[in-house]
Amino acid sequence: MGDIVIASRNRGKIEEIRHILAMDGLNMRDLVQLRHGADIEESGTSFEENALIKARSVFSAYGIPVIADDSGLVVPGLGGLPGVRSARFAGPGATDERNNELLLKELEGLSRNEREAHFVCVAVFLLSPGEWYTAEGRVDGRITARPAGTGGFGYDPLFYLPEYGKTMAQISPEEKNAISHRGRAFRNIRIYVERYVH
């Protein structure tokens, strides 16, 4: 039996990871189950650094392998912003609505090409402080002029997917999981988890 901790308190993310990584012999726990209360300061300058900061912090608390990730929206036309600051783009404790409002304000007057964007997720599977594996997932799209759709969270209502003709917030959860940056990253990390379990 292989034990791992999912370094998250986000129930939606936890369920998505559990679904992707589910396999015989793997026992997954998460920070909600473990009543892990301490906030982890994500002070890295890249998604990989932040995922490793989370993984190492949780490993130091429990001493068993950890799955962690960091993700965000990258708009090259804004020099890569919001990037690693995606969740707090409009300031500490910012709501999704405030982050979206600021993003639209920053994009005012930019051309369609300058509104191209991508979601990135870097997943980390940390076996010990000196041994870890990383995998990246990415999905490309464009930022719309106004929000559309009620599904998803974060920047999903502004993230237009040309192949669907809809925003990320307008497609079904099943469609989103099939193409999302997080889904892709965790499907890519699964091979290392299988190796650990078997």
3-state secondary structure (DSSP) of residue 99: helix
Which one is catalytic: 30, 39, 69, 70? 70
**Counted domains in the chain:** 1
pLDDT bracket for residue 151 (50, 70, 90) = confident
Whether 70 is catalytic is yes
What is the model's pLDDT at position 152?
80
Task: Give 82-141 pLDDT, tens digit per residue.
Answer: 999 998 999 988 999 999 999 999 999 999 889 999 999 999 999 999 999 999 999 999
CATH number at residue 191: 3.90.950.10
Range(s) of the domain holding residue 60: 2-197
Instruction: Give residue 41's pLDDT.
Output: 76
Which one has a higher pLDDT value, 89 or 198? 89
When pLDDT is cut at 50, 70 and 90, the band that residue 35 belongs to is confident
Give CA–CA dist 187/178, Å, rounded.
10
